[in-house]
Amino acid sequence: MLTKVQIRRVLDTMGEMFPDAHCELNHSTPFELAIAVVLSAQCTDALVNKVTPGLFAKYNGPEDFLEVPIEELENDIRRIGLFRNKAKNIKKLARTVVEQYQGSLPESRDELMELSGVGRKTANVIASVAFDVPAIAVDTHVERVSKRLGICRWKDSVLEVEKTLMRKIPEDEWSVSHHRFIFFGRYHCKAQSPQCEQCPLLEICREGQKRMKQRVGNER
């Protein structure tokens, strides 16, 4: 497992590699962000960003989602995986926001998690990006990178990864670290082809060293 000094190096290095890391889901309001994050489950941000411009042009707020039949909303998001289930969640989410929160998205994570289609990860993203609440949302990239580097254990659950990162990373860096871990995992330490040979963290990365040894062995 990485030491406190090594984790500081990880954070600084990721900051140098991805100084402008940010949420890549296009949105202009907290509610639009919530819809985009719900749509992004098991789907790429790039695909979501192809669908949301037309969606948000048609639906200006939660009230608009309640005025159309579910079949129409399904058709509007048909390119997104699991679109039927997501359409149901969006309708329920919009109704809750209108009926319980006067049309404005709640700001607390606990209240966000009560919305349909919003789990802990989604609530953390919304709280962090829309309301500047310090949070670490653990998606597939954050989990993979933290475990490969040895910040977290391989056997850790998603919740354990979140709690470990919150404990080992300064609170005022939670949100920016979340985005940098995602960029690091999405564009550098990829699931199938991590760029270990040119990684500035190779000498402290247990997984990277293992992969490089295997690569050398295969070349002999």
- Rounded Cα distance between 208 and 197, Å, is 8
Q: Choosing from 121, 156, 163, 168, which is the catalytic residue? A: 121
Confidence of residue 217 (pLDDT cuts 50, 70, 90): confident
pLDDT above 70: residue 115: yes
The pLDDT tens digits of the residues spanning 149-180 come to 999 999 999 999 999 999 999 999 999 999 99
What is the percent of the chain with per-residue pLDDT over 90, rounded to a whole number? Answer: 96
- What average pLDDT does this structure show over 41-52? 95
Closest CA to 138 of 182, 176, 173: 182
The pLDDT tens digits of the residues spanning 61-85 come to 999 999 999 999 999 999 999 999 9
Tokens of 189: 């330490």
Q: List C-alpha distances in Å: 103 to 30, 78, 123.
A: 11, 25, 17
- Binding-site residues: 189, 196, 199, 205
Tokens of 125: 């993203």
Q: Choosing from 139, 155, 156, 213, which is the catalytic residue? A: 139
- Rounded Cα distance between 23 and 55, Å, is 19
- What average pLDDT does this structure show over 180-203? 96
- Rounded Cα distance between 86 and 40, Å, is 10
139 catalytic, yes or no? yes
pLDDT above 80: residue 218: no
121 catalytic, yes or no? yes
- Binding-site residues for [4Fe-4S] cluster: 189, 196, 199, 205
Determine the number of helices (DSSP H) and then strands (DSSP E) in the chain.
Answer: 12, 0
Tell me the chain's radius of gyration from C-alpha atoms: 19
- Rounded Cα distance between 130 and 74, Å, is 26
Spell out where the chain has E strands.
none
Cβ atoms within 10 A of the Cβ of 26, count? Answer: 15
Mean pLDDT of the chain: 96
Task: Write down the pLDDT at residue 109.
Answer: 92
Task: Write down the pLDDT at residue 215.
Answer: 82
